[in-house]
Amino acid sequence: MNNSAPINENLKVLLLEDYLLDAELVKRELSIAHPNWLVQHVENKQAFLDSVRLEQPDVIISDYSLPQFNGIEAFLTIKNLGLEIPFIMITGQLPEETIMECIKEGVDDYVIKSSLKRLSIAIDNALQRKHDREERRTMADSLEWTERKFKNIFKHAGVAICEVLIPNIAEIKAIAKHWRKAELSEMCAFLNEFEILETNKEMLNLFAASSKETINSKFSELFTDDSLAAMRFVFRQLARDSEEIVEKLTMNTLETGKVFVRFKAVQTSRSKSHYIFSFIDLTDVRRSEDRLNKVISRMEALVEHRTEEVSIANKELKFQAQERERINALMRDNYVNMTESIIAAKRIQQLMLPQKQAIADAFDDVFIYLRPKDIVSGDFYWFYGKEGKCWIAGVDCTGHGVPGAFMSMIGSNLLNQTVIANQTLSTSAILHDIDTHVIRELKQHEQGTEVSTGMDLSLCSFDFDKMEMHFSGAFHQLYVIRDGIMHQYKGDRYPLGGTFVHQQKLFHEHIIPIQKGDCVYMTTDGFQDQFGGPKNKKFTRKRFIQLLLDIQGNGMYDQEMMLKSALQDWKGTYEQIDDILVIGLKI
């Protein structure tokens, strides 16, 4: 939007802040830039709700941290009430989690209390964005009629499209209730009356037709019995003058094949008997996605081309802007749907992880630092306790994100089956059994199926009666610090499964005496392989070992915080390259 929102010098501001001194600082800062703004200060949830209902503020400013009612809850309350009020979050500090939470929920802006001079700017920007949204809605209402016109431009749309004249539309409407149980033969008879006025080449290709005339003469033959039954719904919508009808159909091609399509009928601006029919091939999901990307690219190119041609025509220019907004909204919805699916998968993966409290009960003190590169993780940890003994594993599956998460579920199930179900308790025997299972489950022993998919793993068992620890590793090391001295125990140099399938693997088992106060650390390679620093180099194992030594003398929670801080300082603005898992155990 090019128009700036008019500044309201009598703006009503609602301030939610439980600390009186901070509230006075905010009021003073706002009064400098806008002395006529009315700032109402409330301290708790009920006063906040009452003020929102009675005063109807123009802007809301809320502290992020409040007793029994935080700023995010206040924002969601406004959102759930259906109110579109600019919402500014203020906080004493700005950790990554706070930023991500504010962005995810849709807060307009956030301001650090030490930078309150930016508050007036943040409010002006939020009001401008609200003004822009209102202008876009006004423009959308005024340009709605142009959408039908654009749907006639289909020859280069990238999907199968045809223009159809329905000469018997009046008869279809006259017997609207009849279509719910119409005979299939009757459906065919009505479809034969449809006249195909124009097609594009994608339409011909999809149904293996040589010309528009071929499609026109054999149009009813394209519909299977199942799709004819589904067309009853389409006919009912035609009878109701629906402007847009969508259905999924299994249809014939003229070469005796079948395609599964998303059928869409849109009424054009010519008359109520003219429609645009589109058929999106969903038979091959990948091909369908590629086609959609081509459609988007071609439509964006068309929008740009037409914008240049009609730059002096205000109505056409607004039409192109509306179309771009629609496409962007579609892409955002697709991205949100995909992200929500992966977030749901993350919740499932988290439910498969052992309870941290069960691990904490087995040791004097613990921390588990798990930081996925993506939403879901290929790194995971596993735990099992029994009669004064326990087993704990840190696992790095091949890849990260969704592929790694799938492999992590296989690994977790194999550990449960091997240790809990089969009662295989020796760490070396456990690794041998899991390696065998991975090779068998992923068919890595078959000719031509060799893939590198596998797992790197460190596995420890603890006998607290004997004060003894057993360790076996697959491409992993174990770190034990006693009295400030680092002891390293190397695992074997091959993974579970993977490209080493045809080698004879022998997993060794280290027996290590332990004593109270020992600190044991298990880690995947994500931390030490992270790029960063002034020269964008790897963190390296050497730095990691020194970091473990430097944080000794602190509790496990503080150690975890120091590891996180060190990683963030090293990584800076560089991208995280792998999943990260570090487990700390104090005997």
What does the pLDDT read at residue 169?
Answer: 87
Q: Are residues 437 and 564 in the same domain?
A: yes
Q: Are residues 271 and 294 in the same domain?
A: no
What does the pLDDT read at residue 475?
Answer: 94
pLDDT per residue as tens digits for the range 425-456: 999 999 999 999 988 888 776 655 556 688 99
What does the pLDDT read at residue 107?
Answer: 87
pLDDT per residue as tens digits for the range 322-351: 888 888 888 887 777 777 777 876 788 788
Confidence band, pLDDT 50/70/90 cuts, at residue 177: confident
User: Has residue 2 been placed in a domain?
Assistant: no
Q: Are residues 315 and 406 in the same domain?
A: no
Q: Are residues 72 and 124 in the same domain?
A: yes
pLDDT, mean over the chain: 87
User: Has residue 7 been placed in a domain?
Assistant: no
Domain stop point among 93, 111, 141:
141
User: Has residue 185 been placed in a domain?
Assistant: yes
Q: Are residues 56 and 186 in the same domain?
A: no
Q: Are residues 429 and 547 in the same domain?
A: yes
User: Has residue 328 been placed in a domain?
Assistant: yes
pLDDT per residue as tens digits for the range 74-97: 889 988 988 889 999 888 876 777
Is the distance from CB of 547 to CB of 479 less than 8 angstroms? no
Q: Are residues 362 and 341 in the same domain?
A: no
Of 115 and 288, the structure prediction assigns the larger pLDDT to: 115
Q: In a 3-state reduction of DSSP, which class is residue 173?
A: helix
User: Has residue 391 been placed in a domain?
Assistant: yes
- Whichever domain contains 77, its CATH number is 3.40.50.2300
Residues 6+ apart with CB under 8 A from 458: 393, 394, 471, 472, 473, 474, 476, 477, 478, 491, 522, 523
Looking at the structure of the chain, the number of domains it has is 4
What does the pLDDT read at residue 447?
Answer: 58
What is the pLDDT averaged over residues 192-205? 90
What is the pLDDT averaged over residues 58-69? 86
Q: Are residues 70 and 197 in the same domain?
A: no
Confidence band, pLDDT 50/70/90 cuts, at residue 500: low
Share of the chain above pLDDT 90, in %: 44
Query: Per-residue pLDDT for 32 more than 80?
Result: yes
Q: Residue 468: which of 587, 581, 314 has the closest Cα?
A: 587
- Whichever domain contains 227, its CATH number is 3.30.450.20
pTM of this structure: 0.46
- Whichever domain contains 538, its CATH number is 3.60.40.10
pLDDT per residue as tens digits for the range 280-310: 999 886 566 666 678 787 877 878 887 777 7
Q: Are residues 357 and 442 in the same domain?
A: yes
pLDDT per residue as tens digits for the range 375-387: 888 999 999 999 8
* DSSP letters for 420-432: IIT----HHHHHH
User: Has residue 3 been placed in a domain?
Assistant: no
Among 85-94, 111-120, 124-133, 495-504, the least confident range: 495-504
Q: Are residues 272 and 340 in the same domain?
A: no
Query: Per-residue pLDDT for 159 more than 90?
Result: no
Confidence band, pLDDT 50/70/90 cuts, at residue 100: confident
User: Has residue 511 been placed in a domain?
Assistant: yes
Residues 6+ apart with CB under 8 A from 370: 377, 379, 380, 381, 579, 580, 581
Cβ burial of 586 (10 Å; 0-12, 13-18, 19+) is middle
User: Has residue 5 been placed in a domain?
Assistant: no
Q: In a 3-state reduction of DSSP, which class is residue 305?
A: helix
Instruction: Please state, in angstroms and rounded to a whole number, the distance separating the CA atoms of residues 574 and 561.
Output: 20
Q: Are residues 241 and 196 in the same domain?
A: yes
First-last CA distance in the chain: 62
What does the pLDDT read at residue 144?
Answer: 62
Domain stop point among 298, 321, 348:
348
Q: How many CB atoms are closer than 10 A to CB 122?
A: 21
Query: Per-residue pLDDT for 150 more than 60?
Result: no
Is beta strand 38-42 parallel, antiparallel or unpaired with respect to 12-16?
parallel
Domain stop point among 103, 124, 141:
141
What does the pLDDT read at residue 446?
Answer: 66
Range of the domain at 65: 12-141
pLDDT per residue as tens digits for the range 457-498: 999 999 999 999 999 999 999 999 999 999 999 999 989 987
Which spans in 81-118 are helix H?
96-105
Q: Are residues 326 and 225 in the same domain?
A: no
What is the pLDDT averaged over residues 161-165? 90
